[in-house]
Amino acid sequence: MSAIAPLVPQADYSTTTSHKETRSPAHTQEITSDLRDLRQRVRNLEEVAALNPVHGLAETGRHILTRQAGLRDSEITLKKTRLLRWSDWMGTAPEFQSVYKCFADACGSGESTSIRSDETKALIIEIDDLYKKCKRIAKSLKINRPSRCLTSPRPSLEPPPREIADAMITVYFRCFESANRILHEPSFWAEYRRFWEDPESINTGQRLKILLCIGIGSSLHDESGPDSELRGQVQQWIYTAQAWLSGPLEKDRLDLPGLQIHCLAMLARQIFSIGGDLVWMSMGSLIHRAMQIGLHRDPKRLPSMSILQAEVRRRLWYTILELLVQSSLDSALPPRISLEDFDTEAPSNNNDDEISESTTALQTHPRGTYTSTAMQLLLIDSLPSRLRIVQLLNGLHSELAYPDVLVLTSEITSACQECNKFAVGNKSAGVTAFHRNMCDYLVRRFLIPLHCPFTSEARTNPLFHYSQKVALDAALALVSPEPDEHFSRLIATSGGMFREGLRYAMSAITLELLVQAQEQRDDGTFGTSTRQLDFLKQAVHDITALSWERIRQGETNIKGPMFLGIVLGMANSADKDALCERTMAQNARDSLILCHDILETRARAVSLPSPNNDSLTSSSIDGDQDAFGLDLSLDFFFPAVVEW
């Protein structure tokens, strides 16, 4: 029901305006009083509308909003036999069609081949040669990486020297355990010391747990390069752990240590881009195993257990839910769990060294106090909202009504503000920039897919301009976190959820840049009002620099930087229609030159086998991108006709 209709019925206006008889002074004073009261009530409504735009809309406007939904059946598409992800759908905005056309024309697969100049033809030949060289080097680099299949029945499970291992374990606990509470630190260190002092007493599961922690920590510590021997070892450990988890369900798989290894493997796969885009499938097995041993029930409802075991179970359950909701967002598939499916309470706000097997009573710290569990508790606060988002986005029969979007946006924004407030207030207590960035990233990135179905509508329906703003603000925040060396390295090297968030941000920012540039061309202000446009261009330059760094750190797909170069070229053109194919070809050529130089530098650092050059097709290099490539591949930006 409309909020305005009961206050100002249409019939009252018709009756009032049709009366012609003379009014008495008393009656006139009464009308004046009524009008004054009506104006005050309208002002009150305007204030409410400012807080929640839906409340201030007429019934027809609200009807338009409630009719909007997520992806319709006609929009369901497969990409490489899989459903498109939300980052893929964002790339289908009509504003990008001109980018595709320019790319195709520059690459020789468009329809404008008849107008090419001799200079452009020479550039096309140079581009073709550079692209093949890049693909050849990329293929050689991938040959050196370990196979998906274990190369021997007894793969090497030896750690690096202890000094290095100690440093990497320390990095793991300082950074990753803040958001993903998987291990009880004192218990782990006791096990770790026994691993070095009496290795024969350590079983395979314990060894894998230790090696995975070393590997995850090495992602922020190892400076030897993306093709180093250590990185290859870590990848082999991840494959071994995955094989161990897939083996017969013996007792050492279906218990808390087994679930800890499973969580570590899920995290490591995303950090090292080993099937990072397929984590949603593996999360199904993990959540089922967790429920099989009762993690979805609060320990108070289970047989008596120690305080330590109860706290570890609660922490582990919410870590699994966090991994699950993140994988659901990135895969555009349902989370397969709801709030009604579990009653496990949040863990206590305590440090690990305050809990042991002998603990019989636990004094919980106030929520405003920083502990080793505090960041997880902040994530748990927003979990219902984020779970609701993926249910609405990815549910088979769900509809994403705009009033729901506004409510969820408010909840996610409040969660980000609480994270920042907590981090600022506890900086001296131990909260680092990495902690704040990680918490903010895992929560804020949900805003972009949430508003994705509505941002494209904003061009023709001003009711959705708010979605355009929210998506852009979230994207800019994701690509400009608080400076931190470890977090910058994580974003520059990792795949999975860490890559997908950047894809969301890249799509939102480049889309807004193209839209604003075209709006300025249309209203004649291009080149005169440049502040906002320059700001967006700088953001795209920053993303381009990040894409170069990702190639240095292990990515082999080069389409992302080329796409960004073309977008910048279009945004800098005063007349989009007059943007000549030569300029586009130059942008593509310049991008490929830098890509080739980076890949060649990496190739010189390792001993490369000679690849088979007979199969240098697009699929031979790009088709395996999610297995190892730390890419912002943007394959969805390029139509199938673009074959080089």
Question: What are 300-348's pLDDT values in tens digits?
Answer: 999 999 999 999 999 999 999 999 999 999 998 999 999 999 999 999 9
DSSP state letter for 147: P
Banded pLDDT at 530 (limits 50, 70, 90): confident
Total number of residues shown for the chain: 644
Backbone angles phi, psi at 78, to 5 degrees: -100, 140
Q: What is the pLDDT of residue 626?
A: 36
Closest CA to 98 of 464, 639, 528, 523: 639
Q: Which amino acid is present at 175?
A: C
pTM metric for this prediction:
0.82
d(CA 338, CA 115): 58
Q: What is the pLDDT of residue 276?
A: 82
Query: Is residue 58 scored above 60 in pLDDT?
Result: no
**Span 253-272, mean pLDDT?**
95
Banded pLDDT at 577 (limits 50, 70, 90): low
Q: Quick one: angle between helices 204-221 and 162-175, nearest 10? A: 80
d(CA 77, CA 631): 22
At residue 410's C-alpha, the angle toward residues 408 and 414, to 5°, is 115
Q: What is the pLDDT of residue 380?
A: 98
Residue 496, sorted as left (phi over 0), alpha (psi -120 to 50) or beta, turns out to be: left
Asked if residues 589 and 579 have their Cβ atoms less than 8 Å apart, the reply is no
d(CA 522, CA 529): 13
Q: What is the pLDDT of residue 14?
A: 38
Banded pLDDT at 524 (limits 50, 70, 90): confident
Bridge partners (DSSP) of residue 78 are 83
Q: What is the pLDDT of residue 29?
A: 59
